[in-house]
Chains A and B, each alone.
Chain A
């Protein structure tokens, strides 16, 4: 479902003497449907960079990134927009939302974008928020006022609202207590069970051991000149 081959990335900082910094070279990996692959490597090794390139907010210098039939490395913006709507989900470490929109609507949004009726989308959102222990009295409030852990859980609820065939998870269990961590791991297992291809970054070794079928160390993709 996800097939990355020979991917490279260079940052050029024009306002700092046009410094060109190669950060990735020859990155190659696949994630099959129903499989969860964990990215490992020290902080700064390029795990999040690789994930962002698959999501499409970082441009690839060369190589290909196939998600289903779309090559994110060369696709038109509108093809990536369509891919993100229906096929590729992403739970980042940060929640970015329009201020003052109720939590329930934030979580229902991915379904609304796909054309689901408001009440249906909201009831599905409510189920997820309940599972993730966000008390109902908070649903009508904007998550921007929530604690870090609550925001993280809202972000996860939103990421799992639509059954994406491919899913990127950046530290989904960070800053969660034991009960919520358990729920997130169960959500990941359910997604695998329905055939989702999942690529994740987990610093939590127990979580990694439980949900990941394979690990890929991104250190192998660090450019030789830098390493």
Chain B
């Protein structure tokens, strides 16, 4: 039985995170805890600051204020105060980032196997046979046939590219995955398969994930908790079905009531 005990330490503790672009606010005063095994959804319309927030958390942007405390193997550390090599090491071992466009997260000129193997080599794997075996195993887990291992991602469909990106990111067994619109730009039927895959991986690997999306149906199925952003600020957060079924903030009420029912 792999039961996640209710632990006392959050995996990630974000405190008053603020990022300004000149006089404009990217995101402001964002605070939340993410616990091991939890999936947090961040929703909001374009320009609400959700991607800025994700970039600040993942270390792609430097925020102006605040703390991002990650529970590293050596105890909780403020990621923003780490040295660049320390942060890069963390982003290879403990973190993963799944981009909306697989082209941003894959090396398009390298084979599928190479894309997965590269991540392993970055954390020290050297034995060619082992690397290839693990790459094959991961291609199977994301439902890419083993005989496609030597094909380049340019020969893959959009859905396959996205699954390959997920394999490349998860092969090193990260504890926290950042996802920026992971199902955006995919056909709904491909989206469904990807959602099921992500849910299974989160469950089996005990991953925590932060998913930015504008799709409320995606977060209802995938996220345990939800944060709603507007104009760079968090206007509401809580259990996903509570925020969607009994929204408290005027903006969330508008957002939920604007969704077309199918």
| With A12-B248, A100-B196: A57-B242 Cβ-Cβ less than 8 Å | yes
Which residues B156-212 have CB closer than 8 A to chain A? Answer: 188-189, 192-193, 195-196, 199, 203
Chain A residues within 8 Å of chain B by Cβ, number: 27
* Interface SS, B side: helix
Q: Are B242 and A56 in contact (CB under 8 A)?
A: yes
Q: Are B246 and A15 in contact (CB under 8 A)?
A: no
| With A79-B6, A112-B203: A14-B242 Cβ-Cβ less than 8 Å | no
| With A14-B250, A79-B6, A82-B6: A96-B220 Cβ-Cβ less than 8 Å | yes
| Min CB gap B83→A, angstroms | 32
Which residues A1-42 have CB closer than 8 A to chain B? Answer: 11-15
Q: Are A100 and B192 in contact (CB under 8 A)?
A: yes
B15 interface residue per 8 A CB criterion? no
Nearest B residue to A79 via CB reads: B6
Partner of B193, one of A14, A100, A112, A113: A100
| Min CB gap B77→A, angstroms | 22
| Min CB gap B241→A, angstroms | 4
Q: Are A15 and B250 in contact (CB under 8 A)?
A: yes
Please name all residues of chain B whose beta carbon is closer than 8 Å to the beta carbon of A116 when the two chains form the complex.
1
Q: Are A78 and B192 in contact (CB under 8 A)?
A: no
Please name all residues of chain B whose beta carbon is closer than 8 Å to the beta carbon of A12 when the two chains form the complex.
248
Q: Which residues of A contact B (CB under 8 A)?
A: 11-15, 52, 56-59, 77-82, 96-101, 112-116
Q: Which residues of B contact A (CB under 8 A)?
A: 1-3, 6, 35, 38, 188-189, 192-193, 195-196, 199, 203, 220-221, 224-225, 238-239, 241-242, 244-246, 248-250, 253-254, 257
7 CB < 8 A contacts A-B: A56-B239, A57-B241, A77-B225, A80-B239, A81-B38, A98-B195, A115-B1
